Structure 1
Amino acid sequence: MKATRLALPDVVLFEPRVFGDERGFFFESFNHRQFEEAVGRSVNFVQDNHSRSSKGVLRGLHYQIVQPQGKLVRVVSGEVYDIAVDLRRSSPTFGQWAGEYLSAENKRQLWVPEGFAHGFLVLSDHAEFLYKTTDYYAPGHERCIVWNDPDLAITWPGSEAPILSEKDARGGRFESAEVYD
């Protein structure tokens, strides 16, 4: 598995070696030892999640201020544009973002560590999105930054207005967001 650190060096893109022929394909989607070597620390995943969304749905930018979650995300059907935003005030990349295209076809995975907001936009007719988390979902501690925050200036693909949940439409501004030390 190839691991590449992105412009935000704690965010890592994983690209598996895929073995395929006329029968189909095989790839190792997760190897704990290789994962920890790539991210440079011990990680314990406690929960797996699976969501399905339609084209144009934007989920995020989500994070938990208490019980922060690291996420290893991938797409098993369709395509998304996935975003990580550094919310660690002490980080040299505080307030910066990185984005990657994840799809069933490219089989890429993105490691979004604790201390980052996360979101994605569905580009295909639908997408099935899987992710492992390092802590449990804690709805009382969940926060949301609005997807089009002018200070973050995320460049989302496409020109259509995204489809948002009520919670995501009410997301707050980055300038007043609760962040990590």
Structure 2
Amino acid sequence: MQIRQLGVDGAFLVEPKVFHDDRGLFLEAFSQPAFQKAVGHQLSVAQVNCSVSRRGTIRGLHATALPGQARYMTCPQGAIIDILVDIRVGSPTYGEHVAVELSAENRHALYLAEGLAHGFAPLTDQATVVYLCSSTWSPDTSIQIDPLDPELALPWPPKRDLLSEKDLAAPSLREAEKLGLLPDYSACRARYAELEDPALVG
């Protein structure tokens, strides 16, 4: 299993080794030792979510206020484009995005630390997404950003006509910052430091 950091602090792409034979295939979808070595701390799982979406759907952009919710996403059926956005005010990559494809073919996973927002859209007629969450969902800490914010100019698929009412009504990144809804980068870094394993950091 290879785990590499992407161009935004706190975002990692997980590329498991897939073993094929006449029966099918086998892989480790998650490895705590490999994750801990790459990220610097264990992933505590409090909730596991599963969503099924059809082509044309956009789910996101979603995040949570600190202490936040870290997420580890996979796509066991179909394919999606998952787009993460750095919404941490003060971050050197604030407002920047990274897009990755997760699919049943490549078997990749995406890890997002607390404070990062993301959304996804199917690239196939239907796609299933399963994600491990470090905390349970709370409506009081939920953050929504307009996934079609023209200033973000995110690379969604051409067909994108299925969004929830909440996502359609979400503020732009600029509006959310003015409203004081976004996490602070230094506070996020302090949160990450709390989680670090001293044996791995030192």
TM-score using structure 1 length: 0.94
1:4-47 superposed Cα distances (whole Å, 9 cap, x missing partner): 21111421000110111121011111111111111123431211
Give the match for residue 63 of structure 1.
63
Give the match for residue 97 of structure 1.
97
Aligned-pair CA distance for 1:167: 1.0
Structure 1 distance, partners of 2:86, 2:29, is 25
Aligned-pair CA distance for 1:137: 0.1
Aligned-pair CA distance for 1:118: 1.2
What is the RMSD of the two structures over their aligned residues, measured on CA atoms?
1.3
Structure 1 distance, partners of 2:37, 2:91, is 22
Give the match for residue 166 of structure 1.
165
Give the match for residue 182 of structure 2.
179
Give the match for residue 122 of structure 1.
122
Higher radius of gyration, 1 or 2: 2
Structure 2 distance, partners of 1:168, 1:67, is 22
Unpaired runs of 5+ residues, structure 1, are none
Local SS of the residue matching 2:110 = strand
Local SS of the residue matching 1:175 = helix
Give the match for residue 31 of structure 2.
31
Give the match for residue 145 of structure 2.
145
Structure 1 distance, partners of 2:60, 2:52, is 14
Taking every aligned residue pair, what percent have the same amino acid on both sides? 37
Aligned-pair CA distance for 1:160: 2.3
Aligned-pair CA distance for 1:58: 0.5
Aligned-pair CA distance for 1:67: 4.3
Runs of 4+ in 1 over 6 A off after TM superposition: none
Structure 1 distance, partners of 2:129, 2:164, is 17
Structure 1 distance, partners of 2:103, 2:58, is 15
Local SS of the residue matching 2:73 = strand
TM-score using structure 2 length: 0.85
Q: Given residue 71 of structure 2, which amino acid in structure 1 is its aligned partner? A: K
Asked whether the equivalents of residues 67 and 141 of structure 1 are also in contact (C-alpha less than 8 Å), the reply is: no
Asked whether the equivalents of residues 78 and 126 of structure 1 are also in contact (C-alpha less than 8 Å), the reply is: yes
1:107-147 superposed Cα distances (whole Å, 9 cap, x missing partner): 00000110011100111111110000111100122121111
Alignment of 1:46-85 (within 5 A): 46-85=46-85
Structure holding more helix per residue: 2
Asked whether the equivalents of residues 67 and 138 of structure 1 are also in contact (C-alpha less than 8 Å), the reply is: no
Unpaired runs of 5+ residues, structure 2, are 185-202
Structure 1 distance, partners of 2:17, 2:110, is 15
Give the match for residue 22 of structure 2.
22
Local SS of the residue matching 2:161 = coil
